[in-house]
Amino acid sequence: MSKCVFLDRDGVLNEDRADYVYRIEDFIIPDGVAEALAQLKAAGYMLIIITNQAGIAKGLYTRDDVMACYQYLQDQCGHLIDDIYYCPHHPDYDSQSLTRKPGSLLLEKAMAKYNIRSDQSWMIGDALRDMQAGRRVGVRTVRIAQEPQLSTDCDGCAPNLLEASRFVLQYA
């Protein structure tokens, strides 16, 4: 069985924006992301992105745009990420979906496909819905926040992915 760090995309792997990030020229990777991914990979973790991409349902961008940003991230960070799962739905535009966080179906699919152990895995995200999705499948959670403070919603808090990875590695 494998251990995994599930990663939200916007606000974790790239800078979030008020509007949607779907063009490579707007896809800004913060300092420390590549280093964090390399450290987690060296510690034996699979790395899988779990992301809501409601802009697809809203007609703002396409699945190809999501995958182009993913490929750009892979190219910039040494191809360390094992897979990406994304939810293209939004309940106000197309349909309700258990794949949309805080639903946990994307994590469940990845866990089944890669035989991932929940008791050795983590979810790193910047929103409560990321923490909720992770908790639903029994993984520990780290929330990225500008003003990190521990709460009952997560197992740890950090200001960025590099610090979040250091928190995870304390338990590896």
**How far does the chain reach from its first CA to its final CA, in angstroms?**
15
Q: Is 10 a catalytic residue?
A: yes
**How far, in Å, CA of 166 to CA of 126, rounded?**
16
Nearest-CA neighbor of 159 among 120, 124, 123, 122? 124
Catalytic choice (8, 65, 126, 155): 8
Q: Is 8 a catalytic residue?
A: yes
Catalytic choice (10, 65, 130, 155): 10
Angle ∠(55,23,57) on CA atoms, nearest 5: 10
Which residues does the annotation mark as catalytic?
8, 10
